[in-house]
Structure formats: C-alpha cells, structure tokens
Amino acid sequence: MTIRERLNLDYARPTKKLIILGSSGFIGNFALEYLRRYPKIQLEGISIHRSIEKLQSIIDEFQPKFVCITDENAFERFQKDFYNPKIKVFKGKEGLIELIEASDSDTVLNALVGSIGIEATFKAIEAQKKICIANKESLITSGPILIDLLKKYKAPLIPVDSEHNAIFQLLLLQNSENIKKILLTASGGPFRDYTLEQIAVVTKEQVLQHPTWNMGPKITVDSAGLINKGLEVIEAHYLFGFSYDMIDVKIHKKSYVHGLVQTMDGAYQCFVSPPSMIFPIAYSLHFPNPVPFVLQEAQDPENWPILEFENVDHRKYPGFSLCIEAGKTGNSAPVILNSANEIAVEMFLQDKIHFTDIPKIIQDALKQIPVVKLEKLHILLEEDKKVRNYVNSKWNEKE
C-alpha cells in the first residue's frame, strides 16, 4: 500500500476552517502565528487546558465560535469572568469530542500533549476531517486501531511532527518499492556530550534546557532522555507502515535535517529547514496545495550550519532502547511504555524522582504489566488506566 492510500491523501483538501486542539502549547502557538500570516484560514474552534487569560486573548484576536477548556476549574472561572454569549464553551476531555461534533470545520490540528489527545483524533477521523496530527500518543498507543479506522472513514492524516512531516514529504516523491530505510534525526538533547557519570547527577534545570527547540516541559524531558525519539520511531512505524528494521535514528545536533530517506541504490534524500515548527504546520494546513509563499524563517544553503550526523549511544539513553523494544513487542506494550513515561515525567517535574529513574519506572512497568491485544479503543483506555494505577501506587505515593 502506498502512503497516499494508507493516509487517505486523495481525500485531503486545503484547510479553510480549522480547529486547534491544544492552542496554548508549543505547536498551538506556531499554528496561531501561521494564521496571522495567512488569515484566509478561519479559526473555528480551539481547546486550551487552563490558561484562560491566554484563551481570552486568542478569542479577541481570532474570534473562534467554539472553545473547549479541559481543566474544570478553569472552565468555571472562565464562565464567571469572561462570559460571552457568542461563543459556545465546552468542558473537560469530553468537551474536545463535543467541540469536534459541533463545528463544521474541515480540519483538526491535534496539538494536545499526552494521551488526552487520543479520543479526539478518533472522533476527527469518524467525522472525516483532515487531521493534522501533532499528538504523537494517538499513533503510539493506538496505531493499529487508528490505521483501521482511517481505512474505514477515508479521513486524510498529515503528520506535523517535524521528522515525520519531513519523511512524509520525501516519501511522496518515491515509489514505495524504492525505499530501503527511513531515518529520523535527533538533536540528542542537552546531555549528548555528557558522560554516563555526569548524566547520573543532572538537575531538573539542566534537563529543561533543550539545545535547539524551545518546547513544553513534557516533550523537553522526553527529548533529554531520547524517549521522545523512541516514541517517534513507534509513531513512524504506524504512520508509514515500515518495519522497525527499516527505521533508524541519527543524532544531528543542529536540527536542520529533519528526516532522510535511503533509496534501494543506497543514496539518501534529506529534508532541510531551520528548526521551526512553522514549516510542517503550514505544509499540513495547505496540503495538498503547496504553501503559497516563502516562510520568513527559511535559510539559503550558505547560511546553514555544518550538517553532521552520529549514531545513538544506547548506553546514554536507556529509555530510547525501551521504546524500540516496546514498539517491536507491539500490542499494548507501547501503551504501557507511554503511560508509565507520562506518570514518571510528571513525578520528575514535581521533584519526586531523579531524571535517571524515568527509564527504570518504564522498564518496571513493561516487565510487570502483561501485554494484551488491542482491538478496540476501550481496551486501550482501560490498559492506560491500569498502567497509571500501577505506576502511581508503586512509585508516586512513596514519599
């Protein structure tokens, strides 16, 4: 099956009316910035977690018709302080689904961070919207179910994660028989030049200093241990349908090359752009049309840094290896990995554990929780809950 068929690309149309889920985060901010530059795309709906002052400024600027506030306290506060009869406001995780149902938007940009985004992706597929997917958990935890659902509803899915977007663009230029390998690049995070001894004593402040991307805390922590890249390998596997031995990762410190494709003759094609999410976001919104102007972030080759690549040192990044193992195991193993990681990262951000405990907690969950077959969304959600309960009761309540 070609990527065109797998991701229903013949059904894709350029975005006119957009919903952004996760509008105050890293990707959401870039998307709003792009709408400022290209105001022909109408912002129809947004979701936000709890930053209601930010929400109010987005409403003033873009006047969406529908809003979802996923944090219940923030919802109550917003209704009290900012009541606006012109806007329909939904509440909580269910509100994300109601927002998609209520709006006649043609596109959903799912920029939610974490497994909260999964059901919204499913809803958007059922509603046959174009889905610009930046919520990697939708693919990592429910890849096989999601791909089946895509087949059924013919909703086009465009990857927004920078590496996957790059590989997507490269794959569209090739016959699938001519692909030998796909490669994702990784900046290597802030500890790429550290020794194992140095990594063992890093502080939270050091973990939160990403060398090339300025992202939210969850993804920054994931990136420091290369768990983000491991999750992206699983994401690539489900998105593009390649086996794990056809997917590789190279450390590339400058984050200028986002993805490479090796063809059968051994040659490589690579995708180069400065590290800004504006490129994949603009591309996915306009798809299948091209972005109609040069983005101001673009850089001509004489301004590029020297492009160097290295292999991943697995000893430095035990979490990365766990991701690949869980991906290969398949079924619910990626759910166990992902949910355990989400809890572990939260605990790390609350200063309850050390950075190097994160892979230990994931490894323990993968060892102790049996892998089950995932056929339906509800099984996945039950497994997710089971993992969270296990990890929380074993690690989180111990003070």
- Closer Cβ to Mg ion, 275 or 288, answer by number: 275
d(CA 92, CA 74): 10
- Closer Cβ to Mg ion, 91 or 164, answer by number: 164
Question: How many CA within 13 A on the CB side of residue 385?
Answer: 6
Residue 63 CB, nearest distance to Mg ion (Å)? 31
Residue 150, classed as helix, strand or coil, is helix
Residue 299 CB, nearest distance to Mg ion (Å)? 19
Residue 311 CB, nearest distance to Mg ion (Å)? 19
Buried (b) or exposed (e) across 68-77, using 16+ Cβ within 10 A?
bbbbeebbee
Binding mask 56-75 for Mg ion (x = CB under 5 A): --------------------
Extended beta strands in the chain, E state? 17-21, 42-48, 66-69, 88-91, 107-110, 130-133, 157-159, 179-186, 247-251, 257-263, 268-272
- Closer Cβ to Mg ion, 162 or 341, answer by number: 162
Q: Does 342 bind Mg ion (CB under 5 A)?
A: no
Residue 72 CB, nearest distance to Mg ion (Å)? 31
d(CA 74, CA 51): 8
Question: How many CA within 13 A on the CB side of residue 360?
Answer: 10
- Closer Cβ to Mg ion, 161 or 383, answer by number: 161
- Closer Cβ to Mg ion, 127 or 239, answer by number: 239
Residue 190 CB, nearest distance to Mg ion (Å)? 16
Sheet-wide strand order for 179-186: 247-251, 179-186, 257-263, 268-272
- Closer Cβ to Mg ion, 222 or 346, answer by number: 222
Report the interhelical angle of 333-349 vs 217-224 (nearest 10°). 110
Buried (b) or exposed (e) across 115-140, using 16+ Cβ within 10 A?
bbbbbbbbbbbebebbbbbbbbbbbb
Q: How many residues lie near Mg ion (CB under 5 A)?
A: 3
For residue 273, CA distances in Å to 166, 228, 262 come to 9, 20, 19
Q: Return the amino acid letter for 110.
A: N
For residue 39 the two structure tokens come to 């105001």
Site for Mg ion in 133-172 (CB under 5 A): 161-163
Binding mask 354-393 for Mg ion (x = CB under 5 A): ----------------------------------------
Residue 339 CB, nearest distance to Mg ion (Å)? 20
Residue 228 CB, nearest distance to Mg ion (Å)? 7
- Closer Cβ to Mg ion, 52 or 184, answer by number: 184
- Closer Cβ to Mg ion, 106 or 163, answer by number: 163
**Cis, bond preceding 275 (omega within 30 deg of 0):** no
Residue 133 CB, nearest distance to Mg ion (Å)? 12
- Closer Cβ to Mg ion, 324 or 387, answer by number: 324
d(CA 332, CA 167): 26
Residue of minimal Cβ distance to Mg ion = 161
Residue 163 CB, nearest distance to Mg ion (Å)? 5
Binding site for Mg ion (CB under 5 A): 161-163
